[in-house]
Amino acid sequence: MAPPMELFDDEPTSTREAIMQATYAALAKHGYADLTIQRISDEFNKSKSLLYHHYDSKDALLVDFLGFMLEQMEADVPIQESGNAYDQLMSAFRHAFGELFEEPDFLRAVLELRAQAATDETYRRQFTANEEFIQSKLAEIVRNGIDEGTFRDVDPDRTAEMLLTVIDGAILRQATIDDVDVDVVRQELDAYVRSRLVTDDVEIDA
């Protein structure tokens, strides 16, 4: 299985990176509930004692993995300067839907980690910061779109929250129910942007 994020693909440059790659592989293979330190160490052919040298517990390792993965996702957000705000938003959606959705096993593992945030404060803080980061990036594109005249005079933060809610809903559905066609939501999101945001005097290709 090809990892969705480039760092998981590269030769690891540190022990931590090697552990993160092994955790990623074990999570995608076994899921959150069946993840064990043994299964993580199986993925990089090193001893369990090495893992315990770096982390006190499976939970500590997973918290570090979560931080690593979210940092990675944030660093990966494309900065597209060309085109108008509509093009930039579409590029952001392609990125969001592309990354996660091409890796159903990993998407499920991310959702399982995120569900921990329902009761675990540490997870909750990390996912909250990650969502705020993505929302601020989306709001920036909407704000630029209003300034350049591509978008109507909507509230950028509220609009960004709506866009992110759709992406989150797609993640929840894709990870937990059968036969979801994620292209339907991507196309409906496009239709939403056109009807709600794009001003009448801007030409958008069909």
Residues that bind a copy of itself (CB under 8 A): 31-34, 108-109, 111-112, 114-115, 117-119, 123-125, 127-128, 131, 158-159, 161-162, 164-173, 175-179, 184-185, 187-189, 191-192, 195-196
Would you call 100 helix, strand, or coil by DSSP? helix
Cα–Cα distance, 95 to 5 (Å, whole number):
11
- Could you identify the residue written with the tokens 């552990």? 19
Nearer to a copy of itself among residue 47 and residue 128 (C-beta) = 128
| Least spacing, CB of residue 17 vs a copy of itself, in Å | 26
Query: Phi, psi at residue 2, to the nearest 5°?
Result: -75, 130
Nearer to a copy of itself among residue 38 and residue 176 (C-beta) = 176
Render 147-199 in DSSP notation, one character per residue.
HHTSB-S--HHHHHHHHHHHHHHHHHHHHHSSS--HHHHHHHHHHHIIIIIB-
**In the beta sheet, which residues pair with residue 151?**
198
Render 21-39 in DSSP notation, one character per residue.
HHHHHHHHHHTTTT--HHH
Nearer to a copy of itself among residue 5 and residue 164 (C-beta) = 164
| Least spacing, CB of residue 16 vs a copy of itself, in Å | 26
Whether the Cβ atoms of residue 174 and residue 114 lie closer than 8 Å to each other: no
Nearer to a copy of itself among residue 7 and residue 174 (C-beta) = 174
| Least spacing, CB of residue 21 vs a copy of itself, in Å | 22
Please name which of 83, 89, 82, 77 lies closest in space to residue 156, comparing C-alpha atoms.
89
Nearer to a copy of itself among residue 184 and residue 204 (C-beta) = 184
| Least spacing, CB of residue 154 vs a copy of itself, in Å | 8
